[in-house]
Structure 1
């Protein structure tokens, strides 16, 4: 920043700030006047114009774009501003995921971001180490919700998801939040491929982590493995092949789609009154020998009656 002027070439946040200030000054408004029109403080407007502090939320960006008559300019800049708050490898993955034709994902701890409800996403992101204040939290939630719009577009990717059973069992955000989230998952079973990897499946190559494999428009594949605090993007064919093999094993060890949908439905009921008892019963039923026979075939093998 030279002579108090922000250099728009330094970052997308700086470019956003420069355009915001220019549009405000064209209107002849002070920062305080603009803040009143979009219901934020003067200091918040100043932060955005200086590219300091928290990034703007999508809702705030829409309000600013509307009152300033920006014609969508600020809204178009918003996704790029947000990607800057993520590490380089994460931004690269987000860009690739936005173009992928097929998304294959294994989630070990939480519902995948593309399928999260807003209350569930807020509960998950609230405990993240990089979320330092309520404004950052709302930014991350807004970005996650915006990414989900891809699934409603005409060129939406084909989605295959494997959920570890722990995702259904781990209560995130309370009973009502979990019930709403699981209801959404159950509805998603009718649109996309959702399978559950039960506890009884034992050890597997992705214990403790999650995995996403993307198929790009040119037929190439990339993979992204993620732990609690870090992730790694794989683009070399040999590395990707190992990730694909691991994902195929996860799918093979998972319940069929019909049984998975039934298990999710049972989990929904488990997050209503008396839910803890029902969840325990459902897990015991799944872990019985017949559960394995269901997983390997189309129906339960009937027991032989004495003397038959």
Structure 2
């Protein structure tokens, strides 16, 4: 599958068109920001195709630039979706997966997040997201969690770095609720959680987080996320390496019972937190 770092073509076209109209009127981004209820930085991101514009933004810019509907007509093609365009393909594949294997290093995978934890994660995103955008993203994330109890069941394993569990994203109450959620999820027959302890002196995960996903036709693909997008790995050699790394990570991590015990001790204050 192709690398998905590039912004969607529709967003790039809209961005170039809106920038062209602005420059034709010899107007700076700062001057445009003074005419509409949106920031200069947001205008820059939209013009580069990095942020999908809301319909209100398109209307405001169309009017401010005297575009006479040239931009407004593109709303159906560029309207913001629940998931970033570069993640849509992964979300669809995940919903149909026979098996999912995840290594997390900075925060919990979306399938493991409570509503409050997910909201805190999106509030941490920079550039900052608007409140409405955050709530749509939270609800979209929660919708993916139907996979946890889907029938037939999806087989899932998660290797979590210990600092992921110690990091109190959203504050103590949100953190405690998330730990309780992990203990509850660990009781599901199709889910296995393992913690990679800080005390571990050898570590196979130096290349960072990753996901392995088994499709309905029994093909395994790799998925890696980055700052500006994501990409799939489908070549057998690449998938083989990722599978080897993940297998080693699982052998280095605490087993499921010890991991559950660590989570419980973090929750009760009997372990470093």
TM range, smaller chain: 0.5 to 0.7
Shift of the 218–125 alpha-carbon distance from structure 1 to 2, 3 Å rule, reads: same
Question: Given that residues 209 and 226 in structure 1 are in contact (C-alpha distance below 8 angstroms), is that contact kept between their aligned partners in structure 2?
Answer: no
Give structure 2 stretches of 5+ with no counterpart. Answer: 1-9, 12-52, 58-78
Q: Can you list the C-alpha shifts for 1:50-100, whole angstroms capped at 9, x where unaligned? A: 97159xxxxxxxxxxxxxxxxxxxxxxxxx9735x5143x22211111111
Which of the pair has the greater relative contact order for Cα pairs under 8 Å at 6+ separation?
2
Distance across 1 between alignment mates of 2:181 and 2:56: 34
In our comparison, the structure showing a higher alpha carbon Rg is: 1
Distance across 2 between alignment mates of 1:230 and 1:209: 15
Question: Given that residues 182 and 268 in structure 1 are in contact (C-alpha distance below 8 angstroms), is that contact kept between their aligned partners in structure 2?
Answer: yes
Q: TM-score, normalised by structure 2?
A: 0.67
Distance across 1 between alignment mates of 2:109 and 2:132: 22
Match of 1:211?
A: 210
Question: Given that residues 54 and 80 in structure 2 are in contact (C-alpha distance below 8 angstroms), is that contact kept between their aligned partners in structure 1?
Answer: no
Question: Given that residues 196 and 255 in structure 1 are in contact (C-alpha distance below 8 angstroms), is that contact kept between their aligned partners in structure 2?
Answer: yes
CA displacement at 1:109 relative to structure 2:
1.2
Match of 2:139?
A: 142
Distance across 2 between alignment mates of 1:105 and 1:203: 19
Q: TM-score, normalised by structure 1?
A: 0.60
Shift of the 53–257 alpha-carbon distance from structure 1 to 2, 3 Å rule, reads: farther
Match of 1:193?
A: 192
- SS of 1:248 mapped into structure 2: helix
Distance across 2 between alignment mates of 1:164 and 1:130: 26
Q: Can you list the C-alpha shifts for 1:207-233, whole angstroms capped at 9, x where unaligned? A: 373111001111100111224554321
Distance across 2 between alignment mates of 1:163 and 1:98: 21
1:257 aligns with 2:249: no
Match of 1:174?
A: 171
- SS of 1:98 mapped into structure 2: helix
Aligned residue pairs, count? 200
Shift of the 95–251 alpha-carbon distance from structure 1 to 2, 3 Å rule, reads: same
**Structure 1 segments of 4+ aligned residues over 4 angstroms from their partners:** none
Higher helix share: 1
Give structure 1 stretches of 5+ with no counterpart. Answer: 1-9, 12-49, 55-79, 271-277, 284-308
Question: Given that residues 108 and 164 in structure 2 are in contact (C-alpha distance below 8 angstroms), is that contact kept between their aligned partners in structure 1?
Answer: yes
Shift of the 209–228 alpha-carbon distance from structure 1 to 2, 3 Å rule, reads: farther
User: Quick one: which of 121, 124, 127 aligns to 1:127?
Assistant: 124
